[in-house]
Amino acid sequence: MAEIVFAPLQMGFSAWRDVARDCLAAGLEPSRVEWGAPQGLFSAFGVPKPEAPAPMPTVPRRFMQVARRVAHHRDDRRASTLYRVLWRLTHGEPRLLESAADPDVVELRTLDAQVRRSAHKTKAFVRFRKVEAEDGEHFVAWIQPDHPVLPLLGEFFAERFSDMRWSILSPDASLHYDGKSWSLGPGRPRSAAPTHDELEALWKTYYRAIFNPARVMVKAMTSEMPKRHWHTLPETSEIPGLLADSARRVDAMLAMPSAPEGPTAHALVSELDDLASLHEALSSCRGCELHEAATAPVPGRGSPHAPIVLVGEQPGDLEDRAGRPFVGPAGRELAQALEAAGLSHDEVYLTNAVKHFSYAPSGKRRLHSKPRATHIRACRPWLLAELERIRPRVVVCLGATAARALLGVEVRVMRDRGTPRACAWAPHALVTVHPAAALRAKDAGRAAELRAALRSDLARARALARGAPEKEVESS
């Protein structure tokens, strides 16, 4: 009978990856590896260490993405599940993740979904309280996630709250941001965080103002805001009184003259993980007036696991009629640029910052009209929801509208194009020209320059997506 090897069980992807590499290098089948401290009276055999560091074998990028999350699941079975799937991927089943009914794949997806939900709730339930320190204001929050996900959320919170110094404490780990960069620290108890501050009254006033008694569904509310989190949320002290008064407020609302009100994009963006459900919900968007004249909103298209997301401005006339992005002249320009950059369609997901066609009628023609800031703002939740679900390695903003939607108004396309930068939704973001710019160029020379710029920037995106160091990409 083969000896059982006991592998150390630690939290986090790097710790699991290092041990998994050694196990693979030693040829240890999953049935021979016990993750955790040895038990019983018999000898405990540790994982043999190779003479040189074992390289990580080539596995699908999708597995690495999932593994980075699942490694932060609280259940100890995370390590054995990851190793079983890794073993099978590297021992004759490279397409295993496509087998949706396979028990190991089902368990892996279940663990991943639970970690992602915990991360989503953590983002939603963080409430900062101000602390006056000797070196100025500092904001502190305490939260108790279902799974230890704070190490996964450093970039997100640093981007979201970049204008203040803060700490997010939890029993498992802590995040700290000094105004420039974020860092991880050890877990802290609830007593390490303040319990109230002078801003809390304002937050409660805001919550009372946005509470809609006509949409009260207590079961759904407690599902989305579990009571175990209530002690960290100042607004929950207002809920009993608001619920008790909801019937009276509904009666008062019914007595008022009605006014038509369409749903906003924020209301329609759901927590469902798949793009198909998101695209289906997009068809009901009434977030701005563009829906009144356009044929239908145009969702993105491409692989949900694409390493690169290309974001354009808005659908054009042909896209509006076809219901797909980049099928017109600009789409043909983009297809040629992608081919020249060595990118296949499987590597990119195409979408737009604005989902409805903005145009001015001219006889039987519909002339492109640049979307306004209100249109960009109304559609931004859809775009961010796509990026949240895909989690690409690189986001490429095609033109000023896409750059404004994701990176802010200070970005200038020709000044900033091709330079990698970080953003909250991908490790790398690039700005480049829109493929339509070449079509609008005044002369052939300028059109050639714009085409060369687009192809060069897409080649940089390709290099980043395939793991090239950022310094090498910048110098290429």
Range with lowest mean pLDDT among 3-17, 72-86, 375-389: 3-17
Residue 463 counted as domain residue: yes
In 255-399, alpha helices (H) = 265-268, 275-282, 317-322, 329-340, 373-390
User: Where does the pLDDT of residue 291 fall: very low under 50, low under 70, confident under 90, or very high at 90 and above?
Assistant: confident
Q: Are residues 284 and 249 in the same domain?
A: no
pLDDT of residue 231: 60
> Is the pLDDT assigned to residue 129 strictly greater than 80?
yes
pLDDT of residue 475: 46
| Dihedral angle over CA of 57, 58, 63, 64, nearest 10 | 70
pLDDT of residue 459: 95
Average pLDDT over residues 64-84: 94
Distance CA 126, CA 424 (A): 17
Q: Which of 350, 284, 283, 356 is nearest to 314 (CA)?
A: 356
Question: Which sign does the torsion angle of CA 370, 373, 379, 385 carry?
Answer: positive
> Is the pLDDT assigned to residue 171 strictly greater than 70?
yes
Residue 328 counted as domain residue: yes
Q: Are residues 158 and 21 in the same domain?
A: no
Q: Are residues 232 and 96 in the same domain?
A: no
395 three-class SS: strand
The edge-to-edge listing of strands for the beta sheet with 136-142 is: 129-133, 136-142, 166-169, 173-177, 182-186
Q: Are residues 288 and 410 in the same domain?
A: yes
Q: Are residues 31 and 63 in the same domain?
A: yes
Residue 202 counted as domain residue: no
Average pLDDT over residues 460-475: 72
Residue that is written with structure tokens 């395939």 in the block: 466
Average pLDDT over residues 317-344: 93
Distance CA 366, CA 363 (A): 8
Residue 404 counted as domain residue: yes
Average pLDDT over residues 89-104: 92
Residue 146 counted as domain residue: yes
pLDDT > 90 in the chain, percent: 41
Strands (DSSP E) contained in 222-362 are 301-302, 308-312, 348-352, 359-362
Category of 302 on φ-ψ map: left (φ > 0), alpha (ψ -120 to 50) or beta: left
Q: Are residues 105 and 147 in the same domain?
A: no
pLDDT of residue 41: 44
Q: Are residues 429 and 404 in the same domain?
A: yes
Residue 56 counted as domain residue: yes
> Is the pLDDT assigned to residue 47 strictly greater than 60?
yes
pLDDT > 70 in the chain, percent: 78
Range of the domain at 425: 267-475
Q: Are residues 102 and 244 in the same domain?
A: no
> Is the pLDDT assigned to residue 256 strictly greater than 90?
no
Q: Are residues 321 and 283 in the same domain?
A: yes
**Which position has the higher pLDDT, 36 or 261?**
36
Task: Kindly state the tokens that stand for 290.
Answer: 């563009």
pLDDT of residue 258: 45
**How many domains would you assign to the chain?**
4
**Which position has the higher pLDDT, 193 or 434?**
434
Residue 262 counted as domain residue: no
CATH code at 421? Answer: 3.40.470.10
